[in-house]
Amino acid sequence: MKSSARLRLVAASMVCGTAAVLATMAPPATADTPDGKSLVTIGDSFSANGQILDLLNAGGDPDCKHVPTSWPSQLTQRLGLSPDDVEDTSCQGGTIDTSGWTLVHQVKRAASDNAFGPRTRAVTIQLGMNDAWGTDNPVALSRAYTCLIDLSNGCGVEAAAEGRAPDPATLTGQAYADRVRKAVEYIRYYAPNAQIIFVGYPEIHTPGQTSACAGILGIDAVQPRAGAITEFLDHMDTAQRDAAAILKVTFLDSRAVTAGHGACTPGAWVAGAFDPRTELLGFPWHPTAHGDMILAAAVQQKIAQG
**Model confidence band, residue 31 (pLDDT cutoffs 50, 70, 90):** very low
Q: Of 254, 240, 205, 202, nearest to 226 (Cα)?
A: 205
Instruction: Classify strands 39-43 and 86-88 as parallel, antiparallel or unpaired.
Output: parallel
The tens digit of pLDDT for each residue in 186-223 reads: 999 999 999 999 999 999 999 999 999 989 899 998 99
User: Residues 120-168: pLDDT tens digits?
Assistant: 999 999 999 999 887 656 666 666 777 877 888 999 989 888 888 888 8
Neighbours of 132 (CB within 10 A): 21
Question: Residue 89: which pLDDT band, with cuts at 50, 70 and 90?
Answer: very high
Query: Which pLDDT score is estimated for 33?
Result: 63
32/241: higher pLDDT: 241
Q: What is the pLDDT of residues 215-259, one digit of tens each?
A: 989 999 899 999 988 999 999 999 999 999 999 999 999 999 999
d(CA 159, CA 147): 8
